[in-house]
Amino acid sequence: MRFKSTRGDARELTGAQAILQGIAPDRGLYVPVQVPSLPFQDLDEIPSLSYPELARRIIGTFFDDYTEAEMTDCTSKAYSAANFEAPEVVPLVKAGPAWFLELYHGRTAAFKDMALSILPHLLTTAMRKEKEDHKICILTATSGDTGKAALQGFADVPGTEICVFYPTGGVSQVQQRQMVTQEGQNVHVFAIEGNFDDAQTCVKNIFENESFNADLLRAGVRLSSANSINVGRLVPQIAYYVYSYGQMLAQRAVGKGDPINIVVPTGNFGNILAAYYASRMGIPVHKLICASNKNKVLTDFLRTGVYDTHRDFYTTNSPSMDILVSSNLERLLYHLAGNDPEETAALMAGLEQAGRYEVPGKIREGLKAFYGGYCNVEDTEKSIGAMYRENGYLMDTHTAVAYKVYRDYVEETGDQTPTVIASTASAYKFAPSVARALGLPEGENGFRDIDEIHEATGVPIPKGLQNLEDKPILHKAVIRPEDMAEAVRRAVTE
């Protein structure tokens, strides 16, 4: 399996090389030259596999330059009891009219753990395979959950440094405390004066800055990424959608070959893109339902074929989706354009220069596999309260967005296809909003709300969120976006 840039760089890389590179020299994203088929003779094989075994086979199908022993080592270490509280790693739970794929039982209580538990192992194995003698600096912008999961995964990993940038005031209190209390000799955390799009744009500019990267190389440092722009972050996410179909079979929610719908709350489009790849591999999917919050640029795009960032930016109660520039959409455009890098590069140039683009008919036709919808702040909290009252099931704000969009989809279409909803975070990570949704008294802060929710529902508090308020704050820097490159330089060379 080889990987190439969405924007036309001629070089084809192995999986290990693409993981190390992170982003292509032409600013494109690495994609597989061809999407492989499922590595099973029959869909009936899937329910019998443990999550680590299934992940080994799915991820290994893409990264086949890793030996079976190397991939087994990576997956067994990543998806161990030390990293995930749920014995099955990813429970699939029926609540109301849908099945919830609980992706938040890892160490940071969010779905990013599913990929960022294995990325450090994939990366360090790639370093050995490619005889990489530079220190790797992981450079990451985060809208909340990626930051802590990346910090947790790479803390004190030999041969690496990690720099994380998050928007000040743009993440939840719990998310921020998780990041600023992170221990590790190689971790560096910065708040920036701006939103996630500002941070993400500056990270991409740093990757593109040839003189800056040359200076780092002379200092013995090479940049890579833990965002889903890195194909090593994206591919592991495909595995849990394949796993979800196996669990739907095991629970007799569908028969072999029957389609499912998949609903994903998404801002940067990586998580739903993984579901798209799972369907391309052979998982029977009827509709991919893309759920947005009030920053509904993706909803509008899927409905009109026009991507336009000239709009107000909103800070919502589902902050991980407060994004207007969805990086991973570029990969989908590439595939729907018939793997045409020139078409993709032209669309991305339009986005960078004019803040908008309109896709041609061929891509519009491919977008019919998706449904786009959105949910505002008020309806997010109403959905949390209604789901708990009616079904005793507790959702976080992002999952609630997905559930509301799913209900809107059913009302609009009448489609009764069995549906899996990606449940992306523990409700405790967004405790003030969840507490309000449950009608609980307002706490002094988000940490008091955690206690109130636990007392009211009995839902266990994830270990990674326990006693978080008492941990010392280790990272206090607040910088301007234009100072990010210098912050990286100082962090990794001084």
Give tens-digit pLDDT for 369-405. Answer: 999 999 999 999 999 999 999 999 999 999 999 999 9
What is the model's pLDDT at position 411? 98
CA atoms of 168 and 180, how far apart (whole Å): 12
Per-residue pLDDT for 444 more than 80?
no
Q: What is the arithmetic mean of pLDDT over 289-306?
A: 98
CA within 13 Å, CB half, 239: 29
pLDDT for residue 423 is more than 90: yes
- Determine the average pLDDT of the residues in 160-169: 95
Confidence of residue 50 (pLDDT cuts 50, 70, 90): very high
The confidence score (pLDDT) of residue 35 equals 97
* Confidence check: pLDDT of 446 > 90: no
Arithmetic mean of pLDDT over the chain: 96
The 3 state secondary structure assigned to the chain is CCEEECCCCCCCECHHHHHHHCCCCCCCCEEECCCCCCCCCCHHHHHHCCHHHHHHHHHHHHCCCCCHHHHHHHHHHHCCCCCECCCCCCCEEEECCEEEEECCCECCCECCHHHHCCHHHHHHHHHHHCCCCCEEEEEEECCCHHHHHHHHHHCCCCCEEEEEEEECCCCCHHHHHHHHCCCCCCEEEEEECCCHHHHHHHHHHHHHCHHHHHHHHHCCEEEECCCCCCHHHHHHHHHHHHHHHHHHHHCCCCCCCCCEEEEEECCCCHHHHHHHHHHHHCCCEEEEEEEECCCCHHHHHHHHCEEECCCCCCCCCCHHHCCCCCCCHHHHHHHHCCCCHHHHHHHHHHHHHHCEEECCHHHHHHHHHEEEEECCHHHHHHHHHHHHHHHCCCCCHHHHHHHHHHHHHHHHHCCCCCEEEEECECHHHHHHHHHHHCCCCCCCCHHHHHHHHHHHHCCCCCHHHCCHHHCCCCCCCEECHHHHHHHHHHHHHC
Residue 119 to residue 121: CA distance in whole angstroms = 5
Cβ contacts of 306 within 8 Å, gap of 6 or more: 300, 356, 357, 358, 359
Cα 148 from Cα 142, distance rounded (Å) = 9
| Confidence tier at 442 by pLDDT (50, 70, 90) | confident
Integer angstrom CA distances of residue 289 from 46, 99, 380, 407, 422: 23, 14, 17, 11, 10
Q: Tens of pLDDT along 471-488?
A: 999 999 999 999 999 999
Residue 280 confidence (pLDDT): 98
Tell me the pTM.
Answer: 0.94
**What number of CA atoms fall less than 13 Å from residue 236's CA on the CB side?**
31
pLDDT band for 51, please (50, 70, 90 cuts): very high
389 CB-near residues (< 8 Å, 6+ apart):
none
Ordered structural domains, the chain, with CATH: 92-109+232-460 (3.40.50.1100)
CA distances from 66 to 71, 131, 152 (A): 6, 14, 24
pLDDT, tens only, 167-215: 998 898 999 999 999 999 999 999 999 998 999 899 989 998 999 999 9
pLDDT tens, 101-156? 999 999 999 999 999 999 999 999 999 999 999 999 999 999 878 889 999 999 99
- Report pLDDT for 445: 80
Task: Write down the pLDDT at residue 139.
Answer: 93
Confidence class for position 494, pLDDT limits 50, 70, 90: confident
Query: Using one digit for the tens of pLDDT, what is the confidence trace for 321-367?
Result: 999 999 999 999 999 999 999 999 999 999 999 999 999 999 999 99
Range 66-95 average pLDDT: 97
